[in-house]
Each structure stands twice: as structure tokens, then as C-alpha cells.
Chains A and B, each alone.
Chain A
Amino acid sequence: MTLEGLLVVAAALFGVGVYGALSQQTFVMIMMGLELMINGAILAAVALWAMSAGGTPKGQLLAVVAMTVMAVEAAVGFALIVGVYRVRKADMTEKLKRLRG
């Protein structure tokens, strides 16, 4: 288990997340991609904390902050989906074509 290996795994998670966030049409699936990106960030944070930053508690805290971001965005995302679903009866990005230009 090396730092390089950990960072490559983190990058892979982030990359898959990017793919998911950009390729999916369902909001919830897009959110999954976003969560995966943050998952990669958490892994990278802890890896750097353990292997590069000498175990300073700020590294752990950074991971906690990342989880906060994840939780907050999930909550707001779900709320927005509920809102959109209610007015639109739709949950596909393709149907969001009203605003453009």
C-alpha cells in the first residue's frame, strides 16, 4: 500500500464519478457520480494524511469536511428532485430544455 497506489485508486474513483455525472440522465444517477467524485477526494485526503502529512489532525478533519459536503449536497439534491418532480413530473435532464442560450 503506497501513496501512489492510493492516489491512483482515488483518481480512478473520481474519474468514474466524472463519467457518471456527465453521462447519466437521471438526477439520482448524476448524484451518484458526484458522490463518487467526493469518495475519491476522501480517499486521497486520508491517504495524504497518513503518508504525506505526518498524521496531522487537519487531514482527518478535511475528510470530515468532505463528508459534510457529501451529506449537504445529497440532502439539497434530494430536496430539489422532489421539487422538480412535483412541478414537472420528470426527472430527466433531457427534459430541462426550457432555459437556454
Chain B
Amino acid sequence: MTGTPGEVMHAAVASAGMDMPVGDVTPELVLVIGAVIVLVFALAAPRRRQPWAAALALAVLAATAVATLPMLDGGQHLTFFDTYAADDVAVWAKLVIVAATALTVALSVEWFRTDARHGEYYALLLLSALGAVVLAGAADLMEVVLGVLLSSATGYVLAAYHRSSARSAEAGIKYYLLGALTNAGLLYGVVLLFGLAGTTTLVGLGDELVGADSTALVAGVGLVVVGLAFKVGAVPAHAWVPDVADGGPAPVAAFLTVVPKVGGLVALARLVVVLPEAGVGWRPLVALLAAATMTLGNLAALWQDDVRRLLGWSAVSQSGYGLMALVALGRSELAVASLLFFLLAYALANLAAFGVLVELRGRADLDAYAGLARSRPLLATALGLAFASFVGIPPLAGFAAKLLLFGAVLDAGYAWLAALAVVNTVVSLAYYLRVVAPTWFQPAVEPLPVLGRWAAMAAVASAAAVVVVGIAAQVFLGSFEAARLLPR
């Protein structure tokens, strides 16, 4: 038998007749058990010890990362009877999710300090991250539905976690209403696809959908895509993003604009590659969504005077860029690498931007940012780096991501999409500079009150990572290049 050690091992495990390859879901198990431990701690610990739940959550995330890393050379395969993918794309998505969640935890410690339910929050955060992890690995439509559900149900609660704040409650409700609506559509779409294929595994769909009735196929795929667009924060189900960014707790906004997007984009990618292009023109469909998302997000952000809403709309437009990678799937070798690198770069930059927002106690008033570079140079630099990465200024991580994305869509024959992305990038510069310019060019005023050390460290660390990942892109690209997107 030849193959990498991981493949050999897996084959050995399979031949041993083990029908529960628990080893393939160790990170997921760690997250579940960790969440329960955090919950139990929160219920048992005295009030002043509640913030320790954050440390516990960080430990859980570290353990998850430790459990995930060895899977990188674990032989990329489908597991649990083709319902789950243990491939490098899933592994990397998990790592990004874990890192983003860890940064969110750091952002949350001081933000939720006065909250009596400090501990449960982290349990929910871990479970929400698990939802995204499930999405990233789902190779079965039912698993996709449940991933969406787990990630959403916790997300609604997280968005409404400030229980005495009307704005937070409103953000949660709006998030919920849109989510429930699109989830129902997602379900119906999955049902239609199931009807055509007689199965819900992606492997089965890939085999059975060839030559399937295209009316039902288009309807089913359309509904599923809309359902996942909700997770991704893409048109036409994007409306929740600015509301949550504005009304929800700021660390949660950072979390919800990053983590579900990672899972949702990977899930969508996994689905579209198995669809027969003859039966449903998914490529133009996704391209259209990408174009609409980035354009709409940018245009809306252009008029924002509220930094939080601006960040929300910016997150929408970034989703559009992410969708570009999907357009190139199967047509360009760069597609998978560009998707992963985009997710990594976006996650770091967005967390840095929201991190600065958190550290500034959620201040949304644009005018208040004037002179920040002199009063709080480190924060202003972090914010500037995050935005520069969004724009794609080299050598930051966002630049390599954009380069890969543009390369992928050009390679796939979608030059118009690349051109539109360029136009959008230029437009986006205008509103990013609206925030950054006053921080640098206006005289210093009284230093803005800040939140605390943890949040500052998380924001600055994310910003530093944006630089490091951009320059040391090879570290990641070397692995991304070999990553497979099962089941294709």
C-alpha cells in the first residue's frame, strides 16, 4: 500500500471495521465538551470568578487547535459515510474559525465584565463556532442545514445578548427574522435537491444530479444558495449585517461577521462544485451574487457616518469578494487557495477593525475618531492596517487575497467580475479613508476612553497578523495549494 502516512492510517482504521471514525471529529468533540465545561463552570463559579470562563474558553479553543493541526496531513477524505469532509479546506477553515473565536473571546472579556451571565456567553460562543465548523466540513445537505441552524440559533442569541439594551434586542430580532425566513427556504431547497437525487450527500448529488430536471434543480439550488447567502452576509440576505454590527454587542458583531462567513462560504463552495453546470448555471449565478454583494455593500457603506454600520456594510462588500473565489472553482487552480487565503485575511482584518471599535468602547461616532493617531497611535495604526488590508494595499494579507481572487476569476474567464471588483475596491477606498483620514490629519484631542488591555491586545495582535500573514504568505499558500475541496 502506498500513500502518505495519514492515508495509510486511515485505510487501516477503515479496514479495522470502525464505523465511528471519532478521530475525524476530534476538534468538534473538543468544542462540544469544552462548551459544556464552560457552561458548568459558569453555573458553579461565584460571580467574581465569571470572567475566568473566558480563560477556560481560550483553553478549549487552544485544545481544539491542537486537535485540528495534526489533521493537516491526515489524508484528505470523506468520513461518517460521506456526510462529513476531513479535508484540508475544512481543517484550515477550522483553524481560522478557532483563531477568530479566540480573538473574539479576548475582545469580550472587558466588554461583558458587568454582565451576570458572563460565563454562558462563552459557552454559546464556542457552540456558535462549532456551527461554523460543522458548516465548513458538511458534505451532506442535512449537515449543512444543521450547521446553519446551530450557527444561527446561537448567533441570534449572541446578537441580543445585551438583555437590557433595546438596540441589542432589536438586532437579535432582525437577525432572527431574516434567518428564519431564509432557513425555511434553505430547507425547501434541500428537499427539492433530495427529491431529484434521492440522497442528500454531496457525493450522491454529484452522481445523481447529472441530467436531472433543470427546473427543480434551479429552484432547489437557488433556495439553498440564498439560505447560505444569509450565513455569508451576501445579497439577497445581507440586511442583518449592518443591524447586528450596529446594535449587537461589538465583540459579537466581530464574531458574526467573520465566523459564520467562513463556514458558509466553504459550505457553499462544497455544494456548487458537485452541481452539474449543464443543469444549473451556478457559476453565473454566484458571479452575479458576488457582483451585487460587493457593489451594494460598498454603495451603502459610502454614505455611512456611523462607524459601526460602516463596518457592517464593509463586511457585506467583503463577502462579495469572497464569493469570487467560488466562481472560479473547478476552472482555476487558484480558486481553493484564494478562498482560504481570503478567509484568513478577511478574518484578521475584520477582527482588527472591530477590535479597535471594541477597545474604543464601541464608539460609532465618526467625528470622535479625529486625531486618534496622536492620542492613541497604536489603535489608529491597527485600524489603518485593517482598512488597508480590506482595500488590498500590499504587502498586507488583503493584498495577497485580492491578488489570488482576481487571478482566479481571470483564470476562470470572468474578467468582467475582476474589473467590477477593481471598481469596487476604488470605491471602497473612499469610505475607508473617511474613517482613517481624520485619525491622522486632524489635531489631537482628548484621548478617547478605552476599554482595557485584553481588547487592545486582541486588536493589535490581529492587525500585526494582517502584516505578518501578508508578508509570510508562502507559509499558508504552500499548504492551501494542496488543499482539496471534497467531494470533488
Which residues from chain A sit less than 8 Å from chain B, CB to CB? 14, 17, 21, 27, 30-31, 34, 37-38, 40-41, 44-45, 48-49, 52-54, 56, 58-59, 61-62, 65-66, 68-69, 72-73, 75-77, 79-81, 83-84, 86-88, 93, 96, 98-99, 101
By a CB distance below 8 angstroms, the chain B residues around A66 are 187, 191
Interface string of B116-142 (1 = CB under 8 A from A): 000000000000000000000000001
Partner of B177, one of A30, A65, A101: A30
Partner of B304, one of A45, A79, A101: A101
Residue of A nearest to B161 (CB): A83
B198:A34 contact, CB within 8 angstroms: no
Q: Distance (Å) between the CB of A26 and the closest chain B CB? A: 12
A59:B194 contact, CB within 8 angstroms: yes
The residue in A54, A68, A80 that gathers the most chain B C-beta atoms within 10 A of its C-beta is: A80
A66 to B190, CA, bound (A): 10
B160:A83 contact, CB within 8 angstroms: yes
Q: Distance (Å) between the CB of A89 and the closest chain B CB? A: 10
Residue of A nearest to B172 (CB): A80
B residues 189-226 with Cβ under 8 Å of A? 190-192, 194-195, 198-200
Partner of B191, one of A41, A88, A99: A41
A87:B194 contact, CB within 8 angstroms: no
Which residues from chain B sit less than 8 Å from chain A, CB to CB? 142, 145-146, 149, 153, 156-157, 160, 163-167, 169-174, 176-177, 180-181, 183-185, 187-188, 190-192, 194-195, 198-200, 242-243, 246-247, 300, 303-304, 306, 309
A45:B191 contact, CB within 8 angstroms: yes
B198:A54 contact, CB within 8 angstroms: yes
By a CB distance below 8 angstroms, the chain A residues around B174 are 96, 99
A61 to B243, CA, bound (A): 35
A86:B149 contact, CB within 8 angstroms: no
Q: Distance (Å) between the CB of B297 and the closest chain A CB? A: 13
A62:B194 contact, CB within 8 angstroms: yes
By a CB distance below 8 angstroms, the chain B residues around A73 are 149, 153, 176, 180, 183
A58:B170 contact, CB within 8 angstroms: no
A21 to B178, CA, bound (A): 10
B170:A84 contact, CB within 8 angstroms: yes
Q: Distance (Å) between the CB of B257 and the closest chain A CB? A: 15
Partner of A88, one of B169, B180, B185: B169
A93 to B194, CA, bound (A): 35
B142:A62 contact, CB within 8 angstroms: yes
Given known A65-B146, A76-B157, contact A86–B163 (CB-CB < 8 A) = yes
By a CB distance below 8 angstroms, the chain A residues around B146 are 65, 68
B153:A41 contact, CB within 8 angstroms: no
By a CB distance below 8 angstroms, the chain A residues around B172 are 80, 83-84
B165:A87 contact, CB within 8 angstroms: yes
A46 to B112, CA, bound (A): 45
A35 to B165, CA, bound (A): 28
By a CB distance below 8 angstroms, the chain A residues around B191 are 41, 44-45, 48, 62, 66
By a CB distance below 8 angstroms, the chain B residues around A86 are 163
Q: Distance (Å) between the CB of B189 and the closest chain A CB? A: 9
The residue in A30, A34, A58, A59 that gathers the most chain B C-beta atoms within 10 A of its C-beta is: A58
Given known A65-B145, A73-B153, contact A99–B243 (CB-CB < 8 A) = yes
A41:B198 contact, CB within 8 angstroms: no
By a CB distance below 8 angstroms, the chain A residues around B303 are 101
